[in-house]
Structure formats: C-alpha cells, structure tokens
Amino acid sequence: MCSCGEGIKDLRYTALEKMLENYQHCPEKIIPVLQETQGIFGYIPAAAIQQISNALDMPSSEIFGVVTFYGQFHLQARGKNIIRICSGTACHVRGGGQVLDAIVKGLGLMNGRTTTEDLMFTLEPVACLGACGMAPVIMINDDTYGRISPQEVPAILAHYKEKEGGQVWVA
C-alpha cells in the first residue's frame, strides 16, 4: 500500500461526497455539514469547502466566513492530542515559560509549528485555564496537569504517545 497518505485522503473525500448527498441545495444546513466534514477530516480542508459550495449552492466565500467565525472549526490539520498551555499571569510567574519550552522540545516542534508532523499533538496557548491556584497548568485533551515542572513533561508526553502505540521521543 502507498504510504503517502493519498489513499486515506481519497477515502475521506468519498465519505464527504456521500455525506453531501443528504444536503443537496440546503445552505441552511451549513453548520451540521461543516461539523460532519470536520468529523471526516479532523479539520476543514480548502478542497472540501469547494465541494460543499457546489453541493449546498452556497458561495465558498460565505462558507469560509462561517468556518472562521466559529471557534469549533479549524482550517488546518490538528493533532489527535490537543495540549493547552496556559499563558496567564499566574502560570507565567510560576514557570509556565519553561514548561512551554519543555513541551516544544519534547514534541520536536520547530520554526513556530504548533502541530507535530505525525499529527499526534497540537499545542495551543490559552489565556487562562481557570485553575490559577495550580499554576503552572496544562491540559492534554480533558486531563489537567497542575503545578508541573519542565522535568515532568517528557513522561507526560510519553504517556499519550504510548496510548496511541507511537514512538516515544525523549528530549
């Protein structure tokens, strides 16, 4: 089997086509269509927007406007595991910056990238996670880690890589 990912891509576009058969000429269904599209791809690819435009009879510029308006939709591929790191004041003064550095290093993120090449992780800074008393705080998916140190980061990341059966990258 080809390892370039094209086979998977084709299957996803086939699934998109099939889903869109249920929404022909229904621009009022744009939100559920985008939700289902994101369910298929993990994000909303530009090529999918064109297909949705054709099926729903809705200009692609309007679809793009909807996608960018709602925070639930993403135009870029995201990792299976979403790491939210707090950049709020309490976390910052208690070493959040060093924790961030350890995560960036542990994931091998270079040149400002926020998603790993294997699509295992996406790193997202947030203003406050609402757990300032536990600063510095990160969340991975629905799990919260408070009062963490940079030294703990490799083991935490390894836990999620092991869950997926992936290769553990240790800094």
ω into residue 136 within 30 of 0, thus cis? yes
Residues 6+ apart with CB under 8 A from 26: 56
Q: Is residue 135 near ligand FES by the rule CB under 6 A? A: yes
Residue from 26, 128, 144, 166 touching ligand FES (CB under 6 A): that is 128
Q: Tell me how crowded residue 72 is: count the other CB atoms within 10 A of its CB.
A: 9
Binding part of the chain for ligand FES, among 30-38, 64-72, 89-97, 157-165 by CB under 6 A, reads 89-97
Of 122, 121, 118, nearest in space to 159 by CA: 121
Residue from 132, 144, 166, 169 touching ligand FES (CB under 6 A): that is 132
Whose Cβ is closer to ligand FES: residue 33's or residue 131's? 131
Residue from 15, 26, 66, 90 touching ligand FES (CB under 6 A): that is 90
Q: For every residue of 113-136, which 3-state class applies, written as one string?
A: CCECCCCCEEEEEECCCCCHHHCC
Q: Are 84 and 56 in contact (CB under 8 A)?
A: no
From residue 11, give the alpha-carbon distance in Å to each of 7, 16, 74, 103, 139.
6, 9, 20, 33, 32
Residue from 19, 20, 38, 88 touching ligand FES (CB under 6 A): that is 88
Smallest distance from ligand FES to CB 66, Å: 31
Which backbone phi and psi does 158 adopt, to 5 degrees?
-60, -35
Smallest distance from ligand FES to CB 130, Å: 6
Q: Is residue 16 near ligand FES by the rule CB under 6 A? A: no
Smallest distance from ligand FES to CB 108, Å: 25
Q: Is residue 103 near ligand FES by the rule CB under 6 A? A: no
For ligand FES, the binding residues (CB under 6 A) are 86, 88-91, 128-132, 135, 137
